[in-house]
Structure 1
Amino acid sequence: MNGAKAWKPLEADGEREVTSHREPGEEFLFYRSVAEGMIDAVQENCSRGAFENMEGVGQLSEDPVTNLRYHFVVTAAMLTRFCMEGGMAMEEAFGLSDEYIRRMDCCTNMAEIVYVHDQMALDYVCRMRNLKKRIASSKQVAEAIDYIYVHIMDRITIQELASAISISPAHLSRIFKQETGISVSEYIRQRKIDMAKNLLRFSDYDFADIAAMLSYSSQSHFIQHFRTQMGMTPKAYRDRNYMNNWNVNRESFTSSGQSPSAP
């Protein structure tokens, strides 16, 4: 096109101090926790002020309030994507994002932005929890699923689960299989493997740590269980998927001559 300037890669400002970015594993674990309806984990993340901790994240503006605004928009976009992948309807996911960005736009200081961020995260996670409970048609099975999500890091027995919702183990086993298509034990195993996959992808915990966190009796038991469910060992899964989304993003940016920043 006549008069158009030729595109060239962005060159770093030599006078600007280069920011050292932290690996985005914590952020991705947060997004996954929201998408999987893990309310306790999201509440813990918000209560310790993870969003407002700017150490090791990209400096998108010299003004601290504007910088936090930009990071808010990134978080909203990521939560929308992860929750849609988790089953949330597209219009609902985008509608929430739009509404909370509008609310954030009315904020005048960092404390207000952090408050709206936490409300947004809790809104998404509660909706995702309810979405995952809708597979159950009875109140008792919905309560059982809710109990499993809250206690996924613990060793859960059918007897304890049945006692928690005040029905017999035999009755729970029957109605759970009838409504979900799988047994209680299999459902618990699947949810533990879901959490293990997130930890393998987005954290540096070793296999013994992950086994202990998820209340497996031993590392070997965890590895055997993982291989049965996934058809590969935890090591093979991590080698294939570690920081997968981030690495793909980094490679695409690097090939264009730009430097990515963690969300």
Structure 2
Amino acid sequence: MNKDCLQFIMNNRISGFQHPTRENIMGLFHKVSHSNGDAKEQVAQYFRELNGEQGFLNDNDLMNLRYTLVNDCFYFCEYLLGYNVDKELVYNASDYYINQINKINKPDDALKFLEELTDTFFELAQKKRLVSYSFRIERSLQYIDQKLYSPVTLEEVAAAVSVTPQYLTTIFREETGMTLYQYIRNRKIDEAKMLLLYSDEPITTIANALGFSSNAHFSASFKSVTGHTPSSFRRKRIDMFSISDHF
């Protein structure tokens, strides 16, 4: 540790500066994400109860804002990954927000950004999976998440976790209560629901992107899981938005 680093630490401690601890951030995020209320209320509660201050990371005020927001993004990712939220979903959301940080030019931008960031991560927190499985099943689920946008086969997953397809079939059903193909289908449909609700991508594009062999295959799979066709599911969301616009 060099002299400048020691001097920085001493000055911070003398000033009475106190960081919010990792445990405080994680614990508060857990508490708030389990509280009643919509995402906006959860965000307000989070900032109201957070103890400590953001770190001083750069002499330039704008750069300091940007660095602290990257730090916040890291902590939220830590929480979600610790609760088995799809790693690729978390990493890609994090990449998006870190890229957006470069567009922040004033404190008001930073506050708006941080509220959007926490809103998104509170939403992702609803996707956490609290059940833990054996090492090979956990690795299988991670592999499926990584390959969600391509056709995935039993043989491919088995090879990735170094077991035979027959053995993986047996232990996967024993631990999860479903077949590997049922799990893959359900994960793809979950992803499709998000794309149908929050993107304007055509249904054909979504089906192709998620590795379905045809539109008919995608529609049949989607309806068997949700009870709706992809188009009726999307229309239902559009109707909800149009109703809310009148209030």
Say yes or no: does 1:65 pair with 2:65.
no
Q: Which moved more, 1:63-72 or 1:153-162?
A: 63-72
Q: Does the Cα contact within 8 Å between 1:40 and 1:150 map onto a contact in 2?
A: yes
How far does residue 224 in structure 1 lie from its aligned partner after superposition?
1.2
- Equivalent position of 2:88 in the other structure: 40
Q: Does the Cα contact within 8 Å between 1:202 and 1:242 map onto a contact in 2?
A: no
The C-alpha deviation readout for 1:220-247, integer Å capped at 9, x for no partner, is 1111111111111100000012495xx3
CA distance in 1, matches of 2:242, 2:122: 16
**Letter in structure 2 aligned against 1:194:** D
How far does residue 137 in structure 1 lie from its aligned partner after superposition?
2.8
How far does residue 207 in structure 1 lie from its aligned partner after superposition?
1.3
CA distance in 2, matches of 1:188, 1:206: 22
| TM-score, with length taken from structure 2 | 0.59
Other structure's SS at 1:199 match: helix
Residue 118 of structure 2: which of 65, 69, 77 is its match? Answer: 77
How far does residue 41 in structure 1 lie from its aligned partner after superposition?
4.6
How far does residue 38 in structure 1 lie from its aligned partner after superposition?
3.8
- Equivalent position of 2:141 in the other structure: 145
Say yes or no: does 1:165 pair with 2:214.
no
CA 1:65–1:187 in structure 2 vs 1: closer, same or farther (change >3 Å)? same
CA 1:175–1:248 in structure 2 vs 1: closer, same or farther (change >3 Å)? farther
CA distance in 1, matches of 2:113, 2:243: 19
How far does residue 167 in structure 1 lie from its aligned partner after superposition?
0.2
How far does residue 64 in structure 1 lie from its aligned partner after superposition?
2.8
Other structure's SS at 2:148 match: coil
CA distance in 1, matches of 2:242, 2:145: 30
Counterparts of residues 1-263 of structure 1 (less than 5 Å): 37-44=85-92, 46-47=94-95, 50-52=99-101, 64-87=105-128, 132=129, 135-242=131-238, 247=241, 251=245, 255=247
CA distance in 2, matches of 1:243, 1:71: 28
Q: Which has the higher helix share?
A: 2
| TM-score, with length taken from structure 1 | 0.55
Other structure's SS at 1:64 match: coil
CA distance in 1, matches of 2:101, 2:166: 48
Other structure's SS at 1:210 match: helix
CA distance in 2, matches of 1:75, 1:138: 35
Other structure's SS at 2:231 match: helix
Identity of counterpart residues, as a percentage? 26
Other structure's SS at 2:131 match: coil
The C-alpha deviation readout for 1:60-95, integer Å capped at 9, x for no partner, is xxx9321232123312431353144224xxxxxxxx
In the alignment, structure 2 segments of 5+ residues that lack a partner are: 1-76
CA distance in 2, matches of 1:154, 1:189: 12
